[in-house]
Amino acid sequence: MYKHGENLKLLDEGSIFIADSVVIGKDVTIYERNRIEGNTVIGDGAVILPGNYIVDTVIGRNTTFNQSQSEGASVGDGVCVGPFARLRPGAKILDGAKIGNFVEIKNATVGEGTKVSHLAYVGDADLGGGCNIGCGAIFVNYDGKSKHRTTVGDNCFIGSNCNIIAPVTIENNSYIVAGTTVTDRVLEDDFVIGRVRAERKPGRAHKYLKHFINPKE
């Protein structure tokens, strides 16, 4: 039987599996359809919403998991994970951070209060506190032969659809504009924009559209 503190609430106990090796704090609520295994520790006041798979993960106090998967991760206090997030081995999420829907974290640290809210990949990276990582941002850690690491300072803004190509360092208080590919060191207080300006070609679209649709007469 797993160890647990007082006032543990299991909602629909028949659909919940908790391994004997798991340790659960007090005032924890675990909803239906959860599987919790390995050397997992769940801190006081945590809420495990429906549909998670959690193994070998340390979860801090008052943290919420929602329809997500975590293996070999460490999650601090007051963190929100999910829905549909994946924490892979080596993920370290510090207090007050947010890991949102369809976000994958691998062998990376996410600093205090940093938000990775949706559709992003953070692999082999160290992110400081107070950062915002936009939708579709990718930390490009693999060059086809070797893995490389990225360092991001505190209070940085990385816009949507940015590619951060490791190895690279982004210093504190930097702003990376949406759609930018970063390959070189970014200094403190830098504003970085690296996208091609859109060019409009009037009356040309039909030449390309006709190959895959039937144009209206």
Question: Catalytic residues, which ones?
Answer: 118
3-state SS, the chain, equals CCEECCCCEECCHHHCEECCCCEECCCCEECCCCEEECCCEECCCCEECCCCEEECCEECCCCEECCCEEECCEECCCCEECCCCEECCCCEECCCCEEEEEEEEECCEECCCCEEEEEEEEECEEECCCCEECCCCEEECECCCCECCEEECCCCEECCCCEEECCEEECCCCEECCCCEECCCECCCCEECCCCCCCCCCCCHHHHHCCCCCCCC
Q: Given the structure tokens 């209070």, which residue do they identify?
A: 155
Record the tokens describing residue 14, joined without a space.
């028949």
Q: How far apart are CA 179 and CA 159, in angstroms?
A: 7
User: What one-letter code names the amino acid at 20?
Assistant: D
- Residue 62, Cβ neighbours under 10 Å: how many? 16
